Amino acid sequence: MSATDAVTFWDGVYASRPAVTDPRPNARLVETVTDLPPGDALDLGCGAGGDSLWLARRGWRVTAVDISAVAAERLAGHARSHGLGELVTAERHDLRESFPEGRFDLVCAHYLHTPFDLDRSAALRTAAHALRPGGRLLVVDHGSTAPWSWDQDPDVRHPTPREVSAGIALDPATWTVERADASSRTATGPDGSTAEVVDHILLVRRTV
């Protein structure tokens, strides 16, 4: 499918959802990042923007990117309305074609899944190379299918964090895997319903 198809699809996903003025951050971001000193962060696939706003409130300077212009524009508006416009820069990128510029202390990629052709390992490898020494790459993937997910394929297979790490193929002399496991939690969907879900969590730190 073409890049135009992907943009149309994701614009439609976000346009069909009501604009939440103060979206929630992802639980795995909160548990991982709360004790880290603020710096420069990159939010890949920012979606509704809860992670970016949460980081900005804690002093992080955030570059938030999404393939959907609807998502990016909504987030920019939310950041301004919450007085965080100087800390959040929202950009539209199709990671098959472009990647945001800069060096970062944190890159987070929550549920960066798509039905369209994307070399996700290559995008995450580029993200790891964009880290400063000491910076972390946090990749959180679905380990189960939530009732509200756009992807209800019963045959879908969820790669393990170790498999994701192997696909990124980072040199262990430069990057260290700090966490690679699965964890369950109670999640709340866009419609307010709840369900038990499994997250696959990979945390990689650049050492030099």
> Could you read off the pLDDT of 38-73 as tens digits, one per residue?
999 999 999 999 999 999 999 999 999 999 999 999
Distances (CA, A) of 163 to 7, 75, 129: 28, 32, 19
In this predicted structure, what is the pLDDT of residue 21?
A: 84
Which residue segment(s) compose the domain that 148 sits in?
3-206
Number of domains in the chain: 1
Largest alpha-carbon pair distance within the chain? 45
In this predicted structure, what is the pLDDT of residue 146?
A: 84
Distances (CA, A) of 44 to 2, 60, 70, 109, 147: 20, 15, 15, 5, 23
Mean pLDDT for 124-153 is 91
For position 42, which CATH number holds? 3.40.50.150
Mean pLDDT for 118-125 is 96
Q: Is the pTM of this model over 0.85?
A: yes
What confidence tier does 2 reach under pLDDT thresholds 50, 70, 90?
A: low
- Mean of all residue pLDDT scores within the chain: 94
What confidence tier does 151 reach under pLDDT thresholds 50, 70, 90?
A: confident
Mean pLDDT for 168-173 is 98
In this predicted structure, what is the pLDDT of residue 204?
A: 98
Do 16 and 37 contact (CB within 8 A), yes or no? no
Q: Which run of H or E residues covers position 201?
A: strand 194-206
pLDDT at 128 over 90: yes
Do 93 and 100 contact (CB within 8 A), yes or no? yes
What confidence tier does 149 reach under pLDDT thresholds 50, 70, 90?
A: confident
Do 144 and 198 contact (CB within 8 A), yes or no? yes
Alpha helices by DSSP H, the chain: 3-15, 27-33, 50-57, 69-81, 120-129, 161-168
SS3 208: coil
Dihedral sign for Cα 135, 180, 124, 12, please. negative
Q: Which amino acid would we find at residue 2?
A: S
- Give the model confidence (pLDDT) of 75-103 as tens digits: 999 999 999 999 999 999 999 999 999 99
In this predicted structure, what is the pLDDT of residue 1?
A: 55
pLDDT at 191 over 80: no
